[in-house]
Amino acid sequence: MITRRKLIGTGLGVTAGLVTAGCNDKAASSAAWSQPGQVAAEEPVPEVTVAVTPTAGAKRVSPLDPVVVSVRGGTLKDVSVTSGGRTVAGEAGAEDNSWRSTGRLAYGRTYTVTASVADATGALTQHKSTFSTVKPAGVASVTFQANALTALRSGGTYGVGQVVMVNFARSVKNRAEAEKSMVVQTTPAVAGRWRWIDGRNAHWRPAKYWTPGTKVSVRVDLFGQDLGKGVYGGASASTNFTIGPSRIAIADARSHRMKVYIDGRMVRDIPVSMGKGGTAVGANGQTVSYWTRSGPHVVMTREPSHRMTSSSYGIVDRKDPNYYDEVIKLCLRISYSGEFVHLADWNIGAHGNRNTSHGCINVGPAHARWFYETFRLGDVVDVRNTPRQMAVSDGSAWAVPWDKW
């Protein structure tokens, strides 16, 4: 049946005289609208509308934003999103007439979106648009460190004093944004938090030393994150490690002893000689202290031998009584400034009696060998009873009280 609206649409009018008085039943009314020779108007083809996000011509699009194509009034047949010969993966919506990217966009690229659409008659048309992604001034990748001198070994075992260290290739201004993408998970669960040591290094630690056997996993999903000053996050990265037995050495400058505890039980009482104290003036006028720093240290490196020279901190005159340049054996570094626990077989008379070193913890042959073979990276050496304090900048996250971390 052709409706009045359709007839008007075809230009066919309706004459009032065609309907007689008294012929008001439904059949008569129906007959009046079905005169021979009248042709029904064709159904109009619905207009096809294609919507694309990001919009055509959009610039500085985040590579995290999905590409979405949707169609009304037609059927979406095919979609391609390409740049430089590379195609972004995607999939059609399960229930609606749409497509959504599943692959990740890249920085600093121009993308072409091509959508093939069929209208109600089956006729195909192509709809094209372009957009460009943000081009960073710099991209910050990350590495995981056991300390500033040593990379963290994924799957490795570390001591109860090991903290999570994330190093950024570029300085981070928007630290809060970065932290949203930095996730630490532990088994068993333990609370902890981040602290930025400087613009490129963030450390995470719990309130107390780890419980032995704890498994730690770290994931950093920085890609697409605006880190400030035009720097964006690089590729995602992850690592994991396990906490080994609790190995803690407590070195006392007053008693000249270092007591070693493994899993809470004292297993060795070692006579030592520590920093002699006092100061000197370096070649550039700097003050050089010979106190061993008090506070929790952690083992940073294990070296069978290490060249130690006073030139490294400014004493360069060979006639200076504080000058030295020697290769020392069985060395475990415990601070960035050059404090070690090491073999000092030339100083046995001072062990357990006097502090005579330039700041290291001197140990006799048998004890030095045992200590070197027993302690690993992340194990704790806690120095006590000296007037100089350990600092975070010298490699100890544990030097900061938890309420200030």
Catalytic residues: 342, 360
User: CA 94, CA 311: separation in Å to the nearest integer?
Assistant: 70
Please, where are the H alpha helices in 71-219?
Answer: 175-180
User: CA 359, CA 94: separation in Å to the nearest integer?
Assistant: 69
- Residues facing residue 118 across a β-bridge: 75, 124
As separate numbers, helices (DSSP H) first and strands (DSSP E) second, the chain gives 4, 31
3-state SS assignment for residue 367:
helix
Write down how long the chain is: 405
Question: HSE (CB half, 13 Å, CA atoms) of 152?
Answer: 29
**Contact criterion met (CB below 8 Å) for 343 and 262:** no
Quote the DSSP letter at residue 324: -
Report the side by side order of strands in the sheet with 156-158.
156-158, 237-243, 215-220, 182-187
Task: Report the b/e string of 213-222 with b at 16+ CB within 10 A.
Answer: ebebebebbb
Question: Identity (one letter) of the amino acid at 273?
Answer: S
**What is the Cα 160 distance to its own chain's centre?**
22
Residue with tokens 């971390």: 405
Closest CA to 242 of 158, 312, 324, 180: 158
Report the side by side order of strands in the sheet with 226-228.
138-140, 231-233, 226-228
Secondary-structure percent of the chain, ordered helix, strand, coil, rounded to 5: 15, 40, 45
